[in-house]
Structure 1
Amino acid sequence: MSPALEALYRLLLRAYPAAYRRGRGEEMIGTLMEAARPGQRHPSLREAGSLVLRGLQTRAGVHSPHQRRQTLAGATRLAVLLLLASTAAVSLAEFGPIMGSPATPFTALRPLETLFAAAGLVAVAAGRHVLG
């Protein structure tokens, strides 16, 4: 294949961190050169843009396991927050009619349910996830 094409690929791979290039650079160059069309002298604009974009994302740590854990933790916190908000809203909506005519001994616990749901909601919203 063309040494000029390989040089251009190496230049584009500079967007990746040096440690990443040391570990995977030769394999990436080999794959890119194998996928190149016969007589190709330069990478396509799409291919060049993709290499640079993925290199910058790798530098930013977008694909790291730490980033995935943070995303999962954030999604879980949001789900808990929404669940607590729903529980507090339903409990509060049922609170008035129950207080007017308590029918069973368990209905006396409804105010506690509302209080705990609201306290959990406030704790999670304030960042106290374990307490919430």
Structure 2
Amino acid sequence: MSSDVLEKRYRMLLRAYPAGYRRERADELIDTLIGEEPTTRRWPSVREAASLIRGALQVHGGSTAARPTAVLLWQGIHLGAMAVLALGALIGLDDLVEAFQFGGFLDPLAVLRDQGIYAVMVIAALVALVAGRTRTAAVLVVAAVVVPTAISPYLFLNGLPQWWAPVVATPLIMVGLRRPADVPPTPRANAVLVTAGILALHLIPAEGFRRVDMSSQIVAATMVIVGAVAFLWVATADQRLLIAVAPTLLLGTLYQLGNAGSTGELLHRPDALPSLAVAVLMAVGAVISTRLRQRTRA
């Protein structure tokens, strides 16, 4: 009975793996984990659970693919385009709500003209990309740069980070149109999950370090450390994240370069430029290490 319960719980952990991998390897993994000797254990150990989850992340990242480097690059680019559009939409919606909170109801048409049209078009491009309509997303993302700016130059003239989102995403989506036929597209559920993780990384209150209150600084520092460690633990297994996060950090860098003296933006982070440099280095390292492993395996 204990073995049956333990096997059931192992299989729950194995659900983190892609369905195709589970069909081929689940029974083999279960046999290896449980072994042939009778056991009274009812729960996997913490170490086993962490190892299985990390293994699932590696498989999602393309470690078992015929061309892992190609999967890393092409899916990483796709995830980067999704993440940067999602972050732009998040910042745009946040600013839109804030505009209405601080007097926007006196002239709602102006707010919608300056910020609302942009938010709608970026969300439309993101939805098309999530749905796998890459060509439609390419058209919409270009339109999201041109149309709102032609109607109102507010975002462009203020150099707000949400304006840069479709600008950064456009070349990523265009490159994604050339994805080789033997590289599978990123599964939709996995892409949404990865994007949510990258957004969560950006919501860490890095500006808390500027507060005078020592308790607030400790809380902010703890959140930054925990968030960074969690992200790196995931990203070193699923290395597509190291590629996908770089374009989102570029938004903060572009904003800071144009608005170094202003404050209050969601993405105005003091660590944006060094974080971008570190992300680029880690992405390059991920490509090199994956390439070396591919050659060794061959």
TM class by shorter-chain length? 0.3 to 0.5
* TM-score (norm: length of structure 1): 0.48
**Which structure has the greater CA radius of gyration?**
1
TM-score where L is the length of structure 2: 0.22
